[in-house]
Amino acid sequence: MEIAEALLKIDALIKMNEELICKLNLAYEEIALLKYKLYGASSEKLSKKKKDSLLDENIFNEAEVNAESKVTEMSDTELEKEVSSSLRKRGGRKPLPKELERENIVCDISENEKICPHDHCDLVFIGEETIEQLDYIPAKFKVIKTICYKYACSHCQNHFVTGRKQPQPIEKSIATAGLLAHIAVSKYCDALPLYRQEQILNRMDVQISRTNLANWMIHCGDLVEILVTKIKNTLLQQEVLHGDETTVQVLKEEGKKPTSLSYVWVLCSGKDSKTPAVYYEYHPSRSHKVANEIFSNFKGFLQVDGYDGYNEVCKNEKITRLGCWAHSRRKFDEADKAGSKKGLGLSAQFLELIGKLYKIEGKINSSCQEEKLQYRQSNAVVILEEIKAKADTEFKNVPPKSKLGEALNYLLNQWPHLTVYVTDGNLAIDNNRIENLIRPFALGRKNWLFCDTPQGANASARLYTLIMTAKLNHLNPFKYLKYIFTELPKILAGKDKNAIDKLLPWNCVLME
């Protein structure tokens, strides 16, 4: 009995030791990854050294696969040589815009110098040398004084008429459409917080508190709500959408602590959309109920990350969900940087295979939908099959809680969504398009840190929608907002709601 008990204790200790070693390895991975994030390069691209080591390790077992990869590499090299040998314009300073105001400074010689010192003949004008420099004139304010004439009947004295002023974006406010557009663009496009704008205004002897500036932005958000709603409805009628969400802190959210996080949900059109748009919407939570509300009645392709909050709406609305290869690649990149001993080289091998998928996308980037579909079916499907086979084989041998295990688990769980993009030439391989549109919001959040109230968060989301959609349609954000703040009050006062469609960024033509 004593021997049996001793053996049981030994087994328990061995099991405990294995668990401790596993935890220790995971801790080493976390430390290695944190060090890399602190001191390493942020790029996810494989270095040349790693690429060479992958080739040296002969990671592909079959000779046919090796031969096929060599042919692909040769074609890529030839393509690079062709590009490098093509004629390119030499670099140099770009000419200054012709529409800028120009001031001429003439540099002439004196009358005495216009006589030749050798034979005392008059010098003849033979040409000029022109040098252009760019000067800066500080922004200035001006006061627009609206004078409304009044008239009365000189006989009965019972009839009075006053000249009607144009409807304003904020009635009884000193702010014009141009000033409101400037403040909005400075905050939401240039990431300049209102307290800094307050300081800039003070230096120009204009005393406007940040409280007033914030209230103006809330009023502007309310004004453009009808226009932003039309942008959202237009997006939901499209065939392809990208979706994502990002955090925002709101201090005075009812039922929540000031330190808790809320969310801005973002959706945008696909790359080839005829009405390019992006839409931001504030919500206190990241619940699946929000996704159900936003994407209700949407029919089409929705490209998102692996968040489970989209599962229900995709099922109920029969939405075809696409995965994001950039997210999968990022997880393998983290595993590679963490340097798991048991997964030595595997993460780099998966990165190399995923890189081949992106090489295919680079070659067909400017192709039509039919050509993209055909090329993907002929080239990408084979690589996808190789990735799936390798993942199924290696998943059993990798600790599930390791970085490589997490990357493989994500890949296999998302596999049905990750392979959808090869079935339609109108789809993208990843969700980078919307991540690029979230980046300006994240940059602004880093500067202004938080929203004070939900009203401010809603206004911010609506103004971000207009500004970023204007940029997608190649409009100057300031000119567009000034035009909107000028024309929209007139349209709303006239009750002609159909005229609002003319203000949508893809319909709007701004006069220079």
The answer to whether position 253 is within a domain reads yes
Q: Are 378 and 422 members of one domain?
A: yes
Q: Which of 429, 463, 494 delimits the end of a domain?
A: 429
| Nearby residues of 493 by Cβ (< 8 Å), 6 or more positions away | 167
Say yes or no: 423 and 371 in one domain: yes
Residue 427 has, within 13 A of its CA and on its CB side, a CA count of: 23
Cα separation, 33 vs 11, whole angstroms: 33
Number of domains in the chain: 2
Note the pLDDT of residue 41. Answer: 63
The CA distances from residue 209 to 185, 189, 472, in Å, are 18, 21, 32
Answer yes or no: is pLDDT of 58 > 60.
Answer: no
pTM of the prediction? 0.79
pLDDT band at 53 (very low <50, low <70, confident <90, very high): very low
pLDDT of res. 297 = 86
Characterize 206-215 residue by residue with b for buried, 16 or more Cβ atoms within 10 angstroms of its Cβ, and e for exposed: eebeeeebbb
Q: Is the pLDDT of residue 141 over 50?
A: yes
Residue-level pLDDT at 91: 56
Instruction: Please tell me the predicted confidence (pLDDT) of residue 446.
Output: 84
Domain co-membership, 318 together with 335? no
Among 423, 421, 396, 425, which residue's Cα sits nearest to residue 408? Answer: 396
Cβ-count burial 257-272 (b if 16+ within 10 Å, e if not): eeeeebbbbbbbbbee
Residue 162 lies in a domain: no
Residues spanned by the domain of 243: 224-323+431-478
Q: Is residue 460 part of a domain?
A: yes
At residue 66, the pLDDT reads 38
| More confident position, 500 or 343 | 500
Q: Domain check: are 467 and 371 in the same one?
A: no
Burial class (CB in 10 A: 0-12, 13-18, 19+), 460: buried
136, pLDDT greater than 60: yes
Burial 359-386 (b: 16+ CB within 10 A, else e): ebbeebeeeeeeebbebbeebbeebbee
State the Cα angle at 209 between 208 and 212, rounded to 5°: 90
Among residues 410, 429, 448, the one where a domain terminates is 429
Q: Are 462 and 221 in contact (CB under 8 A)?
A: yes
Task: Please name which of 417, 168, 213 lies closest in space to residue 308, comparing C-alpha atoms.
Answer: 417
pLDDT tens-digit series, residues 376-427: 999 999 999 999 999 999 888 888 888 888 999 999 999 999 999 999 999 9
**Residue 184, SS3?**
helix
257 and 351 together in one domain: no
At residue 13 the predicted structure's pLDDT band, cuts being 50, 70 and 90, is: confident
Is residue 294 located within the same domain as residue 440?
Answer: yes
Average pLDDT, the chain: 84
Q: Is residue 201 part of a domain?
A: no
Q: Is the pLDDT of residue 123 over 50?
A: yes
472 neighbors 277 (Cβ within 8 angstroms): yes
- Asked if residue 392 is part of any domain, the answer here is yes
Q: What pLDDT sits at residue 503?
A: 94
Residues 276 and 416 in one domain: no
pLDDT at res. 67? 36
pLDDT band at 28 (very low <50, low <70, confident <90, very high): low
Same domain, 356 and 300: no
| 293 in the same domain as 245 | yes
Burial of 7 (0-12, 13-18, 19+ CB in 10 A): exposed
What pLDDT does residue 196 have? Answer: 94
